[in-house]
Each structure stands twice: as structure tokens, then as C-alpha cells.
Amino acid sequence: QVPLVEIGGGLVQAGGPLRLFCAVSGRTSSDSAMGWFRQAPGKEREFVATIRWSSTTQYADSVKGRFTISRDNAKNTVYLQMNSLKPEDTAVYYCAVRRGIRFTSKNPYDDDLWGQGTQVTVSS
């Protein structure tokens, strides 16, 4: 197992920024992607953003233009810069390493890696 360590999260006012970090211990395959999901109370876990080794990115429609994902391949770290936060962004955010071709899938796979989750709360 390659553990994921998430840093960031917390309480922020609506309209404010927040940045999440996720570091992966160990090597990941070149066909993998890193990114984030989130789960709000009473809701299913949903895709937020992902970035591949090639730096190709993909975002959920709900965060496009507000969130930016980036990675440092040398450090095996992925970042999520969240701007113009809204109360509906409140959720537990999970870092993930998954196969790039199915990163956004809702189905679980044996080779998925997940962080422990970090709480993001946006007050109105």
C-alpha cells in the first residue's frame, strides 16, 4: 500500500480561498492519475478534479473556473487551490490515486488509493 497524506482543509467564509495538499509515499504508475473527490453529509461521494502525469486536467462542472488542480511529479504531490468557495462546497475532501482512464468512476476498484479525508467547511 502507498499511503496518501492530506493536508489542508478547515473553516472559511464564503468567497474565500483554501488550499489542499496530498502527498503520495512511493511511486505511482504512469497510467495513474491523482485528484480529489468530496462527500457532503447525506450525499454520495462525487468527483471534483483530477490531473494525470501529462498534466491533463479534468474538473467537475460545479467547480470549473473556481478550483485549480496541479501536481509536482518530483514530490509526488497534488494540490487543489479552491477559490470563491461557496457553502455548497462544504464536504469531506478525499485525495485519490486511481487509473487515469477511470478516475471519475463511481465504482470502487481494488487498486484505488484513498486518503483519510479532510473537512472543508464554508460558512455563509
pLDDT at 20: 97
pLDDT at 2: 58
Interatomic CA distance for residues 114 and 6, integer angstroms: 10
Interatomic CA distance for residues 37 and 58, integer angstroms: 12
Percent of the chain with pLDDT over 70: 98
- Give per-residue pLDDT as tens, 41-67: 999 999 999 999 888 999 999 999 999
Task: Give me the phi and psi of 18, to 5 degrees please.
Answer: -155, 150
Q: Which residue has the higher pLDDT, 29 or 114?
A: 114
Interatomic CA distance for residues 37 and 17, integer angstroms: 18
